[in-house]
Amino acid sequence: MPCFFLECEPSHELARFGVAFAGLYAYHFLWDQLAIRPTVALMVRRTWLTKDKFDKMRESLWKIAFVVTGFSFGLYIGHDKDWFLEPTRYFTDYPYVAPEKLKWYYMLYLAFWFQSIDFMLSLTSKQYTVKRKDNAEMLLHHCATIALMVFSYYFDLTRVGMCVLMIHDVNDLLLETAKVFVFMESELLANIFFGTFAVVWFIVRWYYYSKNILYSVYVHAWAEIVAPAIAQGSRLGMDAATWYKLYMAFFGFLALLLVLHIYWGVLIVRMVMKALGDGNVEKDIRSDSEDESEPVAPPAAVNDDDAKPKRRRAPKAE
């Protein structure tokens, strides 16, 4: 991998993934132990953060660290390529020979999504005690992303695959930054970043994703890959019917991501409507499940010195 059409040693690619997977866990350990935990502990000591937000803050800071690293790596790889974010060139010269840097980029992100499932379900360790009521949707998203990455890597579609990942990174960075300020109860900054996140979500994940990715696959992947196979009856040792099935599977994975984008976009609209009524981002519709059953105390008169800071749930969407 990419081994289906181009010669390579599958064991080498599996070893590459193993190195990336182990390296990511080591990278997470170093970030968490040397920077994130001490920083969050300091926030708690200085009462910038309540103790119940400790793991949530750790999780968000780790995601920010990874997204900044991955996005920067993607820019380094693609900034001087004629196909980078250029939908008419994703599928030219197919099958495309992925350079080593792009292969490592793919393996890094593949490891990250497997790690996300691990942390979400606490399969190997309980890194974070954060539970959410939409775990099923998140698991579907993660599995669809992994399937899309494996498929695109195996069938030499890494150009468009990298651009899909980078498009998603933009919103992820804004969201996790907004959550950091929500946890710190910095209302103004939380609202600014969440408002920016909401606007960018619809621009990037609805409009730009549909126009730059889905339309490109629908039109250009068909013209560059499938149509020649149909005209010739076969291509690269596969008959036209198989090419058509592979094309529909790839397009289907991408369409599933758009469906999830639309679903979360509706939740974002509901949050925005609530924020307009409340004046701030008070409640995450995709909130933590352990908070859902907490009783709401009736209002009571309290002294200023005894007043506790209001708890605010973080917005979360992927």
Contact 127, 119 (CB under 8 A): yes
* 230 in any annotated domain: yes
**Residue pLDDT, tens place only, 34-54:** 999 999 999 999 999 999 999
* 78 in any annotated domain: yes
Q: Across residues 7-12, what is the average pLDDT?
A: 74
| 85 class by beta-carbon count within 10 Å (0-12 exposed, 13-18 middle, 19+ buried) | middle
Compute the distance between CA of residue 154 and CA of residue 286 in angstroms, rounded to an integer: 34
Q: Across residues 281-297, what is the average pLDDT?
A: 44
Nearest CA to 265 among 181, 170, 197, 314?
A: 197
Residue 244 has pLDDT above 80, yes or no: yes
> 30 or 300: whose pLDDT is higher?
30
* 121 in any annotated domain: yes
Specify the pTM.
Answer: 0.83
> 236 or 20: whose pLDDT is higher?
20
The pLDDT assigned to 19 comes to 97
Compute the distance between CA of residue 240 and CA of residue 169 in angstroms, rounded to an integer: 35
Confidence of residue 9 (pLDDT cuts 50, 70, 90): confident
Task: Give start and end residues of each alpha helix (H) in the chain.
Answer: 10-31, 37-45, 54-78, 100-121, 135-154, 158-183, 187-200, 215-216, 227-232, 240-278, 289-292
The dihedral through the CA atoms of 253, 161, 59, 276 has a sign that is negative
**Residue pLDDT, tens place only, 138-195:** 888 889 889 889 989 988 899 999 999 999 999 999 999 999 999 999 989 998 999 9
Three-state SS at 130: coil
- The DSSP-derived string for 29-57 is HHHIIIIIHHHHHHHHHTTSS-GGGHHHH
Question: How many other CB atoms are there within 10 angstroms of residue 16's CB atom?
Answer: 17
> Which residue range(s) make up the domain with 250?
10-287
Question: How many other CB atoms are there within 10 angstroms of residue 287's CB atom?
Answer: 16
The pLDDT assigned to 278 comes to 67
**Residue pLDDT, tens place only, 92-119:** 989 888 889 999 999 999 999 999 998 8
* 33 in any annotated domain: yes
* 308 in any annotated domain: no
Compute the distance between CA of residue 38 and CA of residue 198 in angstroms, rounded to an integer: 31
Q: Across residues 78-92, what is the average pLDDT?
A: 94
* 40 in any annotated domain: yes
> 275 or 81: whose pLDDT is higher?
81
Among 85-89, 248-252, 308-312, the least confident range:
308-312
Residue 271 has pLDDT above 50, yes or no: yes
* 210 in any annotated domain: yes
Compute the distance between CA of residue 73 and CA of residue 105 in angstroms, rounded to an integer: 7
Residue 234 has pLDDT above 80, yes or no: yes
Number of domains composing the chain? 1
